[in-house]
Chain A
Amino acid sequence: MSQAIDVLSWILLVTGGVASVVAGIGALRMPDLFSRMHAASILDTFAAAAVLSGLLLQAGLSIVAFKLFLVFVFLAFTTSTAAHALAKSALTYGQVPEGVDPKSIGATEEREYVEPASELADPREGPAAKV
C-alpha cells in the first residue's frame, strides 16, 4: 500500500516538473503577452497542484500536509488575482492581444506605449525629481 502511494506521488511530482518546464517553454516562445500569460497559468495551476499533491502524499497525515494544502490555497488565490491585475493594466496601457481588433475591446483612443519607469533606471535622462 505504501509503495502504491510512493509510486503515485512520484508520478505526480514528475508530471508537475514536466508541466513547469512546458510552462517555461511557453512563456519563452509564445508570440504576445496574453498567450504568455496562458502559458504561465499552466505553472500556477497544474504544475503547482501536481507537485504539491505529490508532496502531500509523501507527508501523510501531519501538520506538514496541512501546510502544503495551505500553500496551494494561497497560490490559487494570489496567482489568479495577479494575472487579473496584470492583464487589466496591460490592456489599459496599450497592449492588445494578437489578432484582436483594438476597437472591439474598447481601446478607442490609441495610446503610445511608453516603457514605464525607464527614467528612474537611467540617470542620463536627468534627475527623477517629480516622482
Chain B
Amino acid sequence: MAALARVCNVLALLGITGLLLIVFWYQFARGELPCPMCLLQRLGLIAAGVGFLLNVRYGASESHYGIAILSALAGAAAAGREILLHNAPGSGAYGASLFGLHFYTGAFIVFCLIILVCGALLFIEGQFVEGVRDLRPSLLAQALGWVFVLVALGNAISTLLLCGVGPCPEHPTGYQLPWK
C-alpha cells in the first residue's frame, strides 16, 4: 500500500505539472492571458505541487499532505469565487474552455480532487513508517521534480512580465515588457 501512495504522489505531481503546461500553452500559443483570479488558481496548483514534490522527494509525511490540502483549499476558494462571479446573469465567461469546462470550473474540480486524494492517501498508514519513508525516489521522479520547478519558474517569469511588481490589471491586455 505504501508503494501505491508513492505512485499516487508521483502521478499527482505529474498531473499538476501537465495542467500547468496546458494553461501555459493556452497563454502563449492562443493568447489567453490569465486574469488575477486565474493567477491565484495557478498559485494554488503550484503550492499543492510543492506538497506532492516533498512527498516524492522525502517520503510521505502528514505535513506534506497538509501543504497540498491547504493549497488546494486556497485554490478552490479562488476558483469558486470566479465561478460565482461568472455565474451571475449577464456576466459572461472568461477565457477558453477545455472539454466543455472553463478553466476556473475545471480548476475547482481539480482542487476538490486533490483534497479527496490526499484525504484518501492519509488512510495508508504504512507510508509513514520510518524505513518506508526514507526510500530514495527514482531518477524519473527526481527528474519530474526538476520539471515541476522549471514550470513554476516559467509561471513566475510570465506573471512578472504580465503584472510587474504591482497589482495585476483586471483584464490584462499584454505583457509589460521592459523593452516596449
Q: Do A and B make up one complex?
A: no
